[in-house]
Structure 1
Amino acid sequence: TIFYIIISLTIFDFLFGLWTNYLNSTTRSSEIPSELEGIYDEEKYAKQQEYGKVNSRFSYLTSSFSFVLIMLMLLLFGFAYIDTYVRQITEHFILMPLLFFAILGIASDILNTPFDIYDTFVIEQKFGFNTTTLKTYIFDKVKGWLLGALIGGGLLALIIWFYTQTGTYFWLWAWAAVTFFMVFMNMFYSSLIVPLFNKQTALEDGELRDAIQSFSDKAGFKLDNVFVIDGSKRSTKANAYFSGLGKKKRIVLYDTLIKDLSTEEIVAVLAHEIGHYKKKHTQYGLVIGILQTGLTLFLLGLFIGNPELSKALGVEEVSFHIGLIAFGILYSPISMILGLGQTIFSRKNEYQADAFAAKFGLAD
């Protein structure tokens, strides 16, 4: 029964994704909406819409490929095969699941790399966005694998250790560990992880820095750090973001943003980011994420030891890693509902941040 539920949910998730993608595609048009006439360049708008269409069609291909892979793994009991192979190497209660997920992760990444390369070096290149060199791409891949093994593997090992040591209430210990990790990364991501991939430099004194400082004083925002990141080494797209908590907060501007926009426009973008801080969106988002993680781990604690989960994937012996795979698929409807809630919350926050910037005469 659980096997058929897993198969049904996998098919539903795929078809629902196709349907929502189709609904989005029906709203695209190369003709500029009346609301944007005189504001958005018509030629650029048509190009943006074409970019959306190309990416939408490409997502049909990538999602279909992923769907076929997961269905083959389920119908041919591929997870059971990998489990048997791993058990021949080690039966250590931590090393076994780590090796299991390492094989899955590396195999999945290798199989999806051709799609990623096409997306980066063909689609992004065609529309003038890509500036990534092959060397940068390869180094990003290697660093991503190492970080995944170190951080992801370390956190997973700790959770498995809690599971074997505390039994039923392992989810509480796991929740505490994951919460600490989430808060830590929220505070130090920009200073610890980002430098591994990008160079960040403090914004130099000058007209832009003075304008940003002037707005910050007007908005009642204590400006600690403004950094410029070399986003141009991978893409011509412009961006800015706010990260950190308390004294560790910082605003990061992409060098492409500084190149493409005027000082007043950059201040407006910055005002939007400060609006997120003043409205406490980062803090609320963190709290919601922690609560959702607690719910997920609580449900995981209820089901992870159920032998039927492992049997549904063709494995007779109860194991944490097989149970986690089965639980992840069964949890997908709840995840989808929570995801919709997060999207609504996120959209509300974006409108509030825009309104905050507009309040200071930056609406145009």
Structure 2
Amino acid sequence: MNIYLIVIIGSMVLGWAVNTTVSRLNAAALDPTVPQEFADVFDAKAYASSQEYTRATSRYSLVADTVGLAAMVAFILLGGFPAVDAVARAVGGGPLVTGLVFMGILLALNEVLFVPFALYRTFVLEERFGFNTTTFATFAMDRAKSWLLTVAIGGPILAMLLWFFTTAGELAWLWAWGALVCVMVGLQYIAPTFILPLFNTFTPLEPGQLRDAIESYIDKVGFELSGLFVIDGSRRSAKSNAFFTGFGKRKRIALFDTLIDKHTPREIVAIVAHEVGHSSLGHVRRFLVVSIIKTGVVFWLMSFFLTDAELAGAFGMAQPTVYAGLVFFMLLYTPVSLVLSVAAQAVSRRHEYEADRFAARTTGDPEALVTALKTLSVSNLSNLTPHPAYVFVNYSHPPVLDRIRALRRLAAQDAPRSASEPA
């Protein structure tokens, strides 16, 4: 058997096995006793519901991952890629058009496979636990908008990459990297204004106690912000969230309307302070820089495999092509991607602790973030006792109990300092 095929299928199976194992460990780690820190906010019935939600989402993910793996392996072994290539070539129009059609067919097949899972997740699983507020019309419109964006933005980007790798010779990877970096940075600026509003309505936060409290904090830390917005998250889910987006003078913070409904102004200021921490501590810039470097390395490696005949042969292709090589290389890259993903999760968890410390110290109120985290966990039916292996593989945020305990240790450490300071 082709060595490339062994590596690719083996890495996909290994990834599935790891996720399945840690999911089972995670389910086994569920503790029926409410942690002491949550005894005041989680009654027995709600806590049992949160654990059942964890079990249900784990079962869902296991089925989706298993179907996805089986479908991909079958598609490869049964000659799916040569068949799609034949259809794309029949359209005519040269390498760029053929490549775009080839990628479009693959994306469409993926959509057909996983839309039923998305429907089940939204209208059965999330509905069962009281989270879903999405109508079928909204669901369908979201998918349609996503496809339009894929065509409008992804299509030109793909065409650009295919053109560079087809015509620019040995330095094609460098030209492709530079062009894509420009696109990546540009999207960071235009997404808050032109892309995100396609899916949600962003309304400026109304004047009042909450806005005054947030603006007072923003002024205190000297943070430059273009606006505070409320996002209509309740159109799709009862879950709460907040996020920071944009760069430079286009930095903005969006608060879900569900977050405002469920939290006190004091808690929301703490959440905003956490988001400000990510920007002030350089997490956003650092993530972008790492993404840029990673993209360059991937393109450089890709340049050695795009027209590799043996790699193309692993998928039953008689001749290598640049457009198919893009797909085949990303599948070959799977084991590296898995390792990098785990590393990225570890860095992200460290950043979350740093942002928590920033929020606690700049607000002078660590307990406000503690109560905010507790309220969020109850509202979102979070798993309070995840298995360490599951956290290691999948969590971009530390477990909420670890964050709460870290905040309270920080408060205890800072208390003597505060007590010794003059009034």
Verify same fold: TM over 0.5. yes
Deviations 1:277-322 (A, max 9, x none): 1111101111111111111111101111211111111111111122
Q: Secondary structure at the match of 1:251?
A: strand
**Residue matched to 2:366:** 363
Candidates 197, 200, 210, aligned match of 1:198: 200
The structure-2 alpha-carbon separation of the partners of 1:13 and 1:46, relative to structure 1 and needing over 3 Å to count, comes to same
**Residue matched to 2:36:** 34
**Is residue 185 from structure 1 mapped to residue 181 from structure 2 by the alignment?**
no
Q: Residue type matched to 1:362 in 2?
A: D
Q: Distance between the aligned counterparts of 1:136 and 1:193, measured in 2? A: 16
* Contact 2:166–2:322 (Cα < 8 Å) also in 1: no
Q: Which moved more, 1:173-182 or 1:116-125?
A: 173-182
Matched residue pairs, number? 364
Structure 1 residue 42 displacement after superposition: 4.4
Q: Distance between the aligned counterparts of 1:84 and 1:58, measured in 2? A: 35
**Residue matched to 1:228:** 230
* Contact 1:213–1:223 (Cα < 8 Å) also in 2: no
The structure-2 alpha-carbon separation of the partners of 1:23 and 1:294, relative to structure 1 and needing over 3 Å to count, comes to farther
Structure 1 residue 59 displacement after superposition: 0.6
* Contact 1:231–1:254 (Cα < 8 Å) also in 2: yes
Q: Secondary structure at the match of 1:238?
A: coil
Q: Distance between the aligned counterparts of 2:218 and 2:47, measured in 1? A: 32
Structure 1 residue 41 displacement after superposition: 4.5
**Is residue 266 from structure 1 mapped to residue 264 from structure 2 by the alignment?**
no
Task: Work out the percentage of aligned pairs sharing the same amino acid.
Answer: 40
Structure 1 residue 55 displacement after superposition: 0.2
Q: Distance between the aligned counterparts of 1:219 and 1:26, measured in 2? A: 44
Query: After superposition, where does 1:1-364 map in structure 2 within 5 Å?
Result: 1-38=3-40, 40-90=42-92, 92-359=94-361, 360-364=363-367
Q: Distance between the aligned counterparts of 2:251 and 2:181, measured in 1? A: 19
Q: Distance between the aligned counterparts of 2:257 and 2:89, measured in 1? A: 49
Q: Distance between the aligned counterparts of 1:339 and 1:260, measured in 2? A: 33
Q: Distance between the aligned counterparts of 2:293 and 2:104, measured in 1? A: 28
* Contact 1:25–1:53 (Cα < 8 Å) also in 2: yes
* Contact 2:240–2:256 (Cα < 8 Å) also in 1: yes
Q: Residue type matched to 1:363 in 2?
A: P
Deviations 1:179-225 (A, max 9, x none): 11211122221111111111111111111110001111222223331
* Contact 1:304–1:320 (Cα < 8 Å) also in 2: yes
* Contact 1:276–1:282 (Cα < 8 Å) also in 2: yes
Q: Distance between the aligned counterparts of 2:236 and 2:203, measured in 1? A: 17
Structure 1 residue 33 displacement after superposition: 2.2
Q: Residue type matched to 1:38 in 2?
A: D
Q: Residue type matched to 2:182 in 1?
A: F
Q: Residue type matched to 1:129 in 2?
A: F
Q: Which runs of 4+ in 1 moved over 4 A?
A: 39-42
* Contact 1:168–1:302 (Cα < 8 Å) also in 2: no
Q: Secondary structure at the match of 1:193?
A: helix
Structure 1 residue 263 displacement after superposition: 1.0
Q: Distance between the aligned counterparts of 1:107 and 1:314, measured in 2? A: 19
Q: Residue type matched to 1:79 in 2?
A: F
Q: Residue type matched to 2:332 in 1?
A: L
Structure 1 residue 44 displacement after superposition: 2.9
Larger RCO (CA within 8 A; separation ≥ 6): 2
Q: Residue type matched to 2:7 in 1?
A: I
Q: Residue type matched to 1:261 in 2?
A: H
Unaligned runs of 5+ in 2: 368-423
* Contact 1:30–1:50 (Cα < 8 Å) also in 2: no
Q: Residue type matched to 2:52 in 1?
A: E
Structure 1 residue 13 displacement after superposition: 2.1
Q: Distance between the aligned counterparts of 1:247 and 1:69, measured in 2? A: 45
Q: Distance between the aligned counterparts of 2:222 and 2:85, measured in 1? A: 57
Structure 1 residue 94 displacement after superposition: 0.5
Q: Distance between the aligned counterparts of 1:28 and 1:185, measured in 2? A: 40
Tell me the TM-score normalised to structure 1 length.
Answer: 0.96
* Contact 1:31–1:46 (Cα < 8 Å) also in 2: no
Q: Distance between the aligned counterparts of 1:42 and 1:218, measured in 2? A: 41
Structure 1 residue 25 displacement after superposition: 2.3
